[in-house]
Structure 1
Amino acid sequence: MKDWKAWRKRERERIIAERMAIPSAQCQKWSAAISDLLQQGFPNLRGKKIGLYWPFRGEYDPRPPARDFMASGAVLALPEVVEKNKPMHFREWWPDAPMRVGAYDIPVPHETRCIQPDVLIVPMVGFDQKGYRLGYGSGYFDRTLATFSVCPITIGVAFEMQRLENVHPQLHDIAMHYVITEMGIFQACRELLRQIPVELCAKSNAVT
């Protein structure tokens, strides 16, 4: 146990440092590619309740495409850590929503209504070939997913430089349904991430 914990800690620190060192122009280019794939591959998000996140430590920023989904009928929500080591709440968010500083100094909506998302756009420190994510080590997303009565569609977003061969998932870890990087859309299929054409993804996630 100590070995994989130590490995995860080292990889987490390495990837975060490398991600934060990405030149701004390169980060913007990769982020624009991810946003385009998210919008083109998931047209059905326009009518969904979408849980996203406030970007932290060089993460991909999901807010620009989320605003476009909201303009087409989606309801957006951001996570709130209510109590340490407990499941998070998702509170409705919009660009002018009242905000406060939450856990880890990340902004969260202030006393807006709680929502159970249909879809989660999930941040990742790293991810592996089976769609498992390496997070910050607190387990909040996996803990929260386990409490939902209906599991939402999970879309992990990251840059290719965050890809790992194996994150050594534990029993409580939950694989993503999809992963999007600047290189394409990948779907977890038979415990293996496989790249799928944008058109096929859009057809599978068409507005109904």
Structure 2
Amino acid sequence: MALPADVRAQAAQRIASRLDAEIGTVEGSVVGIYWPFRGEPDLREWASSVTARGGQLALPVVLEKGKPLEFRTWSHGEKLEKGVWNILVPTGGVATLPDIVVAPVVGYDEAGFRLGYGGGFYDRTLAAKPSRPLTFGVGYALAKLPTIYPQWHDIPLDRMIIDGS
């Protein structure tokens, strides 16, 4: 939230370009994306491009505290409702297992560990999946920490796409 809105918007565009370069073809893939909250990079425009290129979007839904997230299919224009922390989630949608997960970082370290808002939802979700999706953390360089002091249950992400602005 310390970054001005226009700086965050420019950073989101750069992050989106890097996601495209790192992921490549999305056709036929389910991409787990998040609904932006508290100044996180707003990748909704990039998400629209994913569907335009033949990918399917899925948004995370908190079903219960202390449990894994459920990713539900969603397309632009489909109804959303307020979920936990008033973050928008699909009203309908089908539970799915993403091939790719893009997760926001509040903090991150060189080892690929991320901090979110303390619920442990992404770690629990990744641990519970029968196959691991390709995972990307996205955020801002000012969130880098020497370490997040990972615990036994923390799962590092495959790649970090961090904007240096």
Using the size of structure 2 for normalisation, the TM-score is: 0.95
Counterpart position of 1:157: 138
Moved over 3 A (4+): none
Counterpart position of 1:128: 109
Instruction: Tell me the number of residue pairs that the alignment of Structure 1 and Structure 2 aligns.
Output: 164
CA distance in 2, matches of 1:171, 1:121: 22
CA RMSD of aligned residues (A): 1.1
Q: Which letter does structure 1 place at the counterpart of 2:26?
A: L
Instruction: Give percent identity, aligned residues only.
Output: 39
The answer to whether structure 1 residue 93 and structure 2 residue 82 are counterparts is no
Aligned counterpart in structure 2 of residue 47 of structure 1, from 10, 28, 31: 28
Unaligned runs of 5+ in 1: 1-19, 184-208
In terms of fraction of residues, the more helix-rich structure is: 1
Counterpart position of 2:14: 33
CA distance in 2, matches of 1:87, 1:41: 26
Counterpart position of 1:114: 95
- How far off its partner does 1:46 sit? 3.4
- CA-to-aligned-CA distance 1:168-198 (integer Å, 9 cap, x gap): 0001000010000124xxxxxxxxxxxxxxx
Using the size of structure 1 for normalisation, the TM-score is: 0.76
CA distance in 2, matches of 1:64, 1:46: 17
Of the structure 1 ranges 170-179 and 26-35, higher mean CA displacement relative to structure 2 is found in 26-35
Q: Which letter does structure 1 place at the counterpart of 2:48?
A: R
Unaligned runs of 5+ in 2: none
- How far off its partner does 1:135 sit? 1.4
Of the structure 1 ranges 68-77 and 27-36, higher mean CA displacement relative to structure 2 is found in 27-36
